[in-house]
Amino acid sequence: MGSAVVLEEKWPVLGRHERAAEWLRVWTDLGRAPRTIDAYARGLAEYLLVCEREGIDPVTANRLHVAAFVKELTTRPSRRGGNVVALDSGAGLANATLQQRLVPVRLFYDYLIEEGLRESNPVGRGRYTPGRKFGGHQHGLVPRMVKLPWIPSEQQWLDLLEVVRDEPIRNRVMLALAYDAALRREELCSLRTDDLDPAHRILRVRAETTKTRRERVVPYSAPTGVLLSGYLAHRATISRARGPLFLSESRRNHGEPLSLWTWVMPPVVV
């Protein structure tokens, strides 16, 4: 069963709108990452549900109708409680989440324009327009907040290391590699035994696991190399087969590849 069909079963509203289903299949056939497709499907499904509730044809919807969807998003309570408000949006959803929900809607209308079904995109993009009255910058529907990355203090980092020190060797290796090589969760959990070059302390991050679809080779430190050597010896007691580097040690999934959904911080044994 194709992933697009599975997503239509997960969000039936996608199957009720022919153009939406077509658009989703295009992205799936182009080989986009499953998590990306899932996020696109969710965002578009939420928009289509609002259209159905308001009696709007999404193919002919205008900016006013999309603004109604934005209003619905900004009044939606947080999953962590109705009193939780994100500081960067003043709403229950964080600014980044609001932006994420609008991306598939904008791309859907780009598709309709390419198919000759529309002349303009009601979502639009923030862009600079020379000569525009009252300034040349046109804002998107939701102002984008750009925040500095969070960097732990020395004490916070020491506290983290104190917690991790008592973790099983697999979890310690995962944290060390993630830190040394700046690996995303999917990149970390997708590492294979043949991605490693212990002699030169480097590892290969395969293109299909990266967000940019670009392969890269990155080094790791000598202390991480020592941890990795110990983990490989430990891994051999679970499985001697080449393949996924990190294996589950739970009774239910013993020896199975570790999925990205089971790797969280603080790390836990799964």
Partnered with residue 196 across adjacent β-strands are 203
Domain boundaries, the chain: 3-138, 154-262
Alpha-carbon gap, residue 15 to 18, rounded angstroms: 7
Alpha-carbon gap, residue 63 to 215, rounded angstroms: 39
pTM of the complete model beyond 0.85: no
Alpha-carbon gap, residue 89 to 94, rounded angstroms: 6
How distant, in Å, are the alpha carbons of 67, 100, 121, 232 from that of 108? 16, 13, 9, 46
What are the pLDDT digits (tens) for 41-83?
999 999 999 999 999 999 999 999 998 888 888 887 766 666 5
In which element (H, E) is residue 194 found? none
pLDDT band at 128 (very low <50, low <70, confident <90, very high): very low
* CATH H-level superfamily of 154-262: Intergrase catalytic core (1.10.443.10)
Give yes or no for residue 127 having a pLDDT over 60.
no
The tokens of 20 are what? 């939406």
The tokens of 143 are what? 């102002």
The tokens of 267 are what? 């790390």
- According to CATH, the topology of domain 3-138 is DNA polymerase; domain 1 (1.10.150)
The tokens of 42 are what? 């969710």
